[in-house]
Structure 1
Amino acid sequence: MSAAGARGLSGARILAVLIKEFIQLTRDRLTYAMILVMPIVQLLLFGYAINSDPRDLPTAVLVQDQGPMARSTLSALVNSGYFEIVRTASSPAELDDAVARGEVQFALTIPADFTRRVVRGDGAQILVEADASDPAATGGAIAALASLPRTALSRDLVGAATKPGADPFEVVIHRRYNPEAVTAYNIVPGLLGVILSMTLVMMTALGVTREYERGTMESLLATPARPIEVMIGKLAPYVVVGLVQTAVILILARVLFAVPMAGGWIALGLGVLLFIVGSLALGFLISTVARTQLQAMQMSFFYMMPSILLSGFMFPFRGMPGWAQALGSVIPVTHFLRVVRGALLKGLDVVALWPSLGALALFVVVIAGAAMARYRTTLD
């Protein structure tokens, strides 16, 4: 038996090593903060922000019948809790544009002969158009529409106008952009943003931080290269990587999942380029803060978690409370998903998608500026 084995286990020595590890852990402030903050953030996001049954969805209405039955129908719609009337359109074209741009989730049309047809029992109808590009966002609201004809006019129909066992009118539902509620049509385009974020941000952060750990950054800093030149030189190869990833994902989305490609290619291309550059700039910014690859990976994961949960990729964006939507609107993945889904599923052009494209451009400018400001020409 060896001398080490003869001594056996020593509680004092184990305690000494344990104390040493705790001291080292507290010295690594970033890791220590991640250990404490990450569970709290996950608890808050899953507990308060995530909602798979969104309510008060923005709705535009076109009411061509100003009678009391039309008003009762609107009141019943709002009282269901799933719809919030935020816009009154003056024409079908305005209604169509609001749905296409994503300004509203639903569009309701009450025709001019609605009251007359209800009173006569002549097959009255109302039209509800849903932006069904995300089936999870509209499923509960569409299900609630089934009871609308039986409850909306319960106090308005009396006497001969009441037909036992028959609904006074019919709700015609038009699911736009994804009539068959295929989940892949929403998830697969969204994966483009998540995959680009995971790979580009992390690859850039780890790649630059690795140079600090190996000492090769010192040689680079000794060259006459300016910060912007170093940044461009390091990020350019990853731009090509991002473009290749985008092409592969789009091809597989079409071949394997039959995701519709409605057009909007110029807007999609511009959005992809802005998002790739912004993600790479963010990875470069992370590398200027982290001093080890472990820290860079931790910071990248900390960015990815809200990007997945608050962007509308996994859960309906409009199902989140106001504070979570405000936080999600700051995340670039949110705007990139709107560009990708708007271009592929709706065929929107640059003009229609300019708010999201503008947000991505602002993200690039701010993050690239911060990365260059943080970049130091000498090593500490």
Structure 2
Amino acid sequence: MGLSLSRMMAVLTKEFTQLVRDRLTYAMIIGIPIVQLLLFGYAINTDPKHLPTAVLVQDQGQFSRSILGSLQNSEYFRIVHVARSPAEMDKLIERGAVQFAITIPGDFTRRVVRRDKPQILVEADASDPAATGSAVAALSSLPIEGLKHDLKGPLASAAPGPQPFEVVIQRRYNPENITSYNIVPGLVATILTMTLVMMTSLAMTRETERGTMETLLSTPLRPIEVMVGKLTPFVVVGIIQAALIISMARILFGVPMAGGWAALILGLFLFIVGSLALGFLVSTVARNQLQAMQMSFFYFLPSILLSGFLFPFRGMPEWAQWLGTILPVTHMLRVVRGAMLKGVGLAEAAPSLGALALFVVIVAGLAVKQYRTTLD
């Protein structure tokens, strides 16, 4: 029997009809390229500017004001806090509230006039080298540009060449700018996201496809009991994965363990439970394993791009930062990097831990409600 164009067209028509009726798959085909285009085109920026900066100005002279003005004119620094003590500066940079902490000493003006070449201390949160690299490079021109409009007349002639002062840069938490110190801890959050959400959604959807879920639905189990029973083994799997990644980070890559174990353990538990609850929620919406995988990937993609894992979080536009703040991966990255590189405790990590706890409550509530809906 020869080839029949009409039969092939019939099959072709049937496949297109089925594709259009599968709204989720159709939405993924259109949505994923659009999301990638928008995120890479608008949100990703490897040269972050207007980085939040705290200053401790112990000299109130004109020279100090000129230095601060020059910093802001460079577009890399945005002064958001004026500290009153070095201890306050330490807390701000430890919590991640600022990227830079700049100290102008009390005898700055006098030493510039006397040609003593004073020093300005710039402390950078180098836990993410990509976020600070360009800004640190811009500081090399500060001694030349900072006081060029102030050193005139006798001061200009008395000035020791083009550099009347020195900028001392202290890279905190990662003085050698080792990229693995930033990337490897972040893998804890990204790997757990990829495996737990997808693994849970596929496992639950597989039971629906095989019909075993019908047997479970016929029992007097409540939705919350089903969810707890189903997710508890995966919690153990997530803990094992996290312990393995952290151990290998220390053994293979030499990532420092600064402490902060209480914040790290609590953050991991909340993140694992939240990821599993999200996978459970996906399984109540997806009709088959393909849809579950598509939905998991659609969640995983922005989690990688908007969380600050691969690209500097503060380099993204404000709308992208707002979206990134909604994602639990963003907060887990802050907890794990803060604990491993900075040794932050529960108090310093409280905002991120609170966000993770809120995510667990919301997603678990939606999952239970959606599961109850499927029972009806």
Name the TM-score, length of structure 2 as normaliser.
Answer: 0.98
Task: Supply the distance in 2 between the matched residues of 1:202 and 1:303 (Cα, whole angstroms).
Answer: 10
What code does the residue aligned with 1:89 have?
A
Q: Secondary structure, in 3 states, of the residue corresponding to 2:170?
A: strand
Task: Supply the distance in 2 between the matched residues of 1:341 and 1:247 (Cα, whole angstroms).
Answer: 15
Higher alpha-carbon deviation: 194-203 or 223-232:
223-232
What code does the residue aligned with 1:44 have?
L
- The corresponding residue for 1:300 is 296
Give unmatched runs, 5+ long, in structure 2.
none
Deviations 1:81-125 (A, max 9, x none): 100000000111101110000000000100011011111110211
Compute the displacement of 1:79 (Å). 0.3
Compute the displacement of 1:217 (Å). 0.3
Task: Supply the distance in 2 between the matched residues of 1:19 and 1:371 (Cα, whole angstroms).
Answer: 37
The answer as to 2:73 corresponding to 1:76 is no
The answer as to 2:32 corresponding to 1:38 is yes
Task: Supply the distance in 1 between the matched residues of 2:122 and 2:179 (Cα, whole angstroms).
Answer: 21
Compute the displacement of 1:11 (Å). 2.3
- The corresponding residue for 1:161 is 155
What code does the residue aligned with 2:61 have?
G
C-alpha contact (below 8 Å) 1:218/1:379 kept by paired residues: no
The answer as to 2:235 corresponding to 1:239 is yes
Compute the displacement of 1:164 (Å). 6.2
What code does the residue aligned with 2:267 have?
G
- The corresponding residue for 1:263 is 259
The answer as to 2:349 corresponding to 1:339 is no
C-alpha contact (below 8 Å) 1:118/1:124 kept by paired residues: yes
C-alpha contact (below 8 Å) 1:308/1:314 kept by paired residues: yes
- The corresponding residue for 1:89 is 83
Equivalence map 1:128-277=2 (5 Å): 128-162=122-156, 163=159, 165-277=161-273
Residue 22 (structure 1) aligned to one of 8, 12, 16? 16
Deviations 1:316-355 (A, max 9, x none): 0000000000000000000000000011100000011100
C-alpha contact (below 8 Å) 1:335/1:356 kept by paired residues: yes
Task: Supply the distance in 1 between the matched residues of 2:163 and 2:52 (Cα, whole angstroms).
Answer: 26
What code does the residue aligned with 1:227 have?
P
Q: Secondary structure, in 3 states, of the residue corresponding to 1:179?
A: coil
Task: Supply the distance in 2 between the matched residues of 1:265 and 1:326 (Cα, whole angstroms).
Answer: 28
Give unmatched runs, 5+ long, in structure 1.
none
Task: Supply the distance in 2 between the matched residues of 1:334 and 1:53 (Cα, whole angstroms).
Answer: 19
Q: 1:62 to 1:164 in 2, by over 3 A?
A: closer
Q: Percent identity?
A: 71
Moved over 6 A (4+): none
C-alpha contact (below 8 Å) 1:185/1:259 kept by paired residues: yes
Task: Supply the distance in 2 between the matched residues of 1:86 and 1:99 (Cα, whole angstroms).
Answer: 12
C-alpha contact (below 8 Å) 2:115/2:160 kept by paired residues: no
Name the TM-score, length of structure 1 as normaliser.
Answer: 0.97
Deviations 1:253-293 (A, max 9, x none): 00000000000001100000000000000000000000100
Compute the displacement of 1:160 (Å). 3.9
Q: Secondary structure, in 3 states, of the residue corresponding to 1:267?
A: helix
Compute the displacement of 1:210 (Å). 0.3
Task: Supply the distance in 1 between the matched residues of 2:104 and 2:323 (Cα, whole angstroms).
Answer: 36
- The corresponding residue for 1:64 is 58
C-alpha contact (below 8 Å) 1:31/1:295 kept by paired residues: yes
Task: Supply the distance in 2 between the matched residues of 1:90 and 1:370 (Cα, whole angstroms).
Answer: 46
Tell me the number of residue pairs that the alignment of Structure 1 and Structure 2 aligns: 374
Task: Supply the distance in 1 between the matched residues of 2:10 and 2:281 (Cα, whole angstroms).
Answer: 38
